[in-house]
Amino acid sequence: MNRAFALLAAIAAVWLMWSGMFVALILGFGAASCLFVVWLCRRMGTTDAEGVPLHLLPRVARFTPWLLKEIVVANLDVTKRILGPRQAISPVVFDAPSTQRTDLGRTIFANSITLTPGTVSFGVEPGRVRVHAIAKEVRDGLLTGEMDRRCTRAEGAGEAG
């Protein structure tokens, strides 16, 4: 039940932030729609530890600044490759090793890869993620395993409750 309340609070906060409307009728419709969504989620059984991963909040809070830095660095790299005098683009498809133990962890890893400019993940299986990279150097950077280690740490497998 705590996860349902947390989901309701998160949905309501996002709704208020995006709508910016504080008229009684609109607030009533917003509250009704948020309650309906939470009711649907409970009925579908998605308010579990994977659907509402409250246990990940502290770990993801530490992971997010690092990921944002990587996104900025990758943006600069892609910009240099595109605008640079010589074409430094050599696309490559490869398998990145994945040490995450849950579907949620693998999703965090694959999405982190895709969020980083110059890479797109397009296939996820236990133990590996299929990735397209803009250049071999980008592939080599991903194969160092730093993102995999940080995503596994953020995953917090075995701590869900």
Query: Are residues 91 and 109 in contact, defined by beta-carbon separation less than 8 angstroms?
Result: no
- Which residues lie closer than 8 Å to 98 by C-beta, 6 or more apart? 106, 109, 124, 126, 127, 128, 129, 148
Give the percent of the chain with pLDDT over 70. 96
Q: Inform me whether the pLDDT recorded for 3 exceeds 70.
A: yes
Furthest CA-CA distance within the chain: 59
Taking the whole predicted model, whether its pTM rises above 0.85 is answered as no
Q: pLDDT class for 157, splitting at 50, 70, 90? A: low
- Average pLDDT, integer, range 111-137: 95
- Average pLDDT, integer, range 45-53: 88
DSSP state of 54: G
- Average pLDDT, integer, range 83-112: 91
Strand partners, 123: 130
CA distances from 130 to 46, 53, 88, 107, 154 (A): 27, 25, 22, 12, 21
- Average pLDDT, integer, range 38-42: 95
Q: Which helix (H) or strand (E) holds 114?
A: helix 103-115
Gap between the terminal Cα atoms of the chain: 12
Round the average pLDDT of the chain to a whole number and report it: 91
Residue 97, classified by CB atoms within 10 Å of its CB into exposed (0-12), middle (13-18) or buried (19+), is exposed
In the chain, domain spans = 2-44, 57-155
pLDDT of 158 reads 46
Q: Inform me whether the pLDDT recorded for 101 exceeds 80.
A: yes
Q: Tokens standing for 88?
A: 């430094």
Query: Are residues 3 and 52 in contact, defined by beta-carbon separation less than 8 angstroms?
Result: yes
Instruction: Write out pLDDT tens, residues 53-94.
Output: 888 889 999 999 999 999 999 999 999 988 887 767 899 999
Cα distance between residue 120 and residue 131, in whole Å = 6
Strand partners, 128: 97, 125
- Average pLDDT, integer, range 17-27: 92
Between 12-16, 47-51, 108-112, the lowest mean confidence (pLDDT) is in 47-51
